[in-house]
Structure 1
Amino acid sequence: MFVDSHCHLDRLELDKLGLSLEQVIAHAQAQHIEHMLCVCVSLAEFEQMRAQVAAFPMVSISCGEHPLHQQDKVAAELLLEKCSSKDVVAVGETGLDYFYAPEAKLSQQDAFVSHIDVAKALNKPLIIHTRDARADTIALMRSHQADSPGGVLHCFTEDYDTAKAALDLGFYISISGIMTFRNADELRSVVKKLPLDRLLIETDAPYLAPVPFRGKTNQPAYVTAVAQAVAEVKGVSLQQLAQHTTANFYQLFKQVKKAA
């Protein structure tokens, strides 16, 4: 069985897919995906996201403010309040993105620190996004003790030194469909070095559909294609990869109830 450790079910354009959310989840289950983590990117949209997936016990939720969704300063008290809810299993998506918003470095850093502080206060793991911000991401993780709650660098596309620094802080590394892209040789070489007991897999749906679905709207059912690509690079069977990544998911996100 597999787990999609990072998706955005509330952002699926279901009308374009011609599917209901129930059908999307059923398709995932048919592909042996037993659980999905629906990740929040906006505090303003959190309650709507929560309501959309509330009926599905195989879907867990996080709460946070993506570095590219910060219209205003992140309200730390509101973040703490929302993340305190029992159904919230992680803090984020948070982090730094200097690729799309280099002009907002300082506000992103402040928000990132707020998320780390909330994660520490609640002892809930962090879900971290980093792009073109390797040094600052690791530096803030170190200086603000992100190793205390732990977490994951999701949709990882950075170099091995960044991965090693995160691993040394007790973090997990999550691999997305980018791994399957033709120009992802460097990422594949990094994945080859990563320990199996610290790997997760994800779709980041509706974005970044893996080969052979590239160009289509991504969905949790496609996480098996990511798993197959990772297994091939790691030189293990698909079953072994599934066992490791699924166990890792439940080890990190301890509040998630394992499938019966």
Structure 2
Amino acid sequence: MAGSGRPVCSVDDCGPWAESHGYCNTHYQQWGGDGDPGGAIATRTVGGDHTCAVDGCERNRTSRGYCPAHYERWRRWGDPGEAAIKPASPPRSGCTVPGCDRPHACHGYCKAHAARWRRTTDPGSAEVARHVRQGPACSVEGCTGTHQARGLCRTHYSRLMRTTDVAAGTPPKLRRCGKPHCGQRHYHQGMCHTHYQQWVESGATREPLDVAACAQAYREGATSTSLAKRFDYSPKAVLAALRAAGVPIRPGSPPRHTR
């Protein structure tokens, strides 16, 4: 380093470049703290042994010749200390609750018993972990799925959210696109999303509502909702067309009053 023309740290046997007041950054910080830069420290070498400079420490050196743990100890206290940093904890292979075969997580318990211990200060029996692992069964007769919500497994709960029907069996038939050979899921106006976008971009106009057929079906008891699905119009548009044609509209559900 001396041959390069750049001064090195003025502390004997310290190799790093001088950064300020003739000291390397480490000795300068130490000198600024108590007026004494201290002695030389072990520096990182290129090639050769790369283990920590502390006798008996087999960790790889990373800074100033020390491993991260000894370097941090030296930086804080000025002395890296002995090789032992922290006594190794004995390995724990399983939960300490009798009868529980789940792996250890913390405090001598598995995750389930540790969570129970945090909540109630009592880890409980092995049945706690078994319930967490297996869970209650789905309430639908014949279903062996694990409980997800409202007493149902994931499949039946999803079906409940879509159709309010949780009976075991095939899923409800979904409405599909009306275009020939398509089969994609219905999006709007009787078409899938792709065909609907093409229809809108083409500027095509839809066929007018057959008011006569709609009125006849309505008089026979059909609802505006069923007619909307049949003629591919909204229920509001169906009712507007029926009113315009002079068809008496049956009273619907009374409006909900909100406070």
TM range (shorter): under 0.3
What TM-score do the two structures reach when normalised by structure 1? Answer: 0.20
Greater percentage in strand: 1
What TM-score do the two structures reach when normalised by structure 2? Answer: 0.20
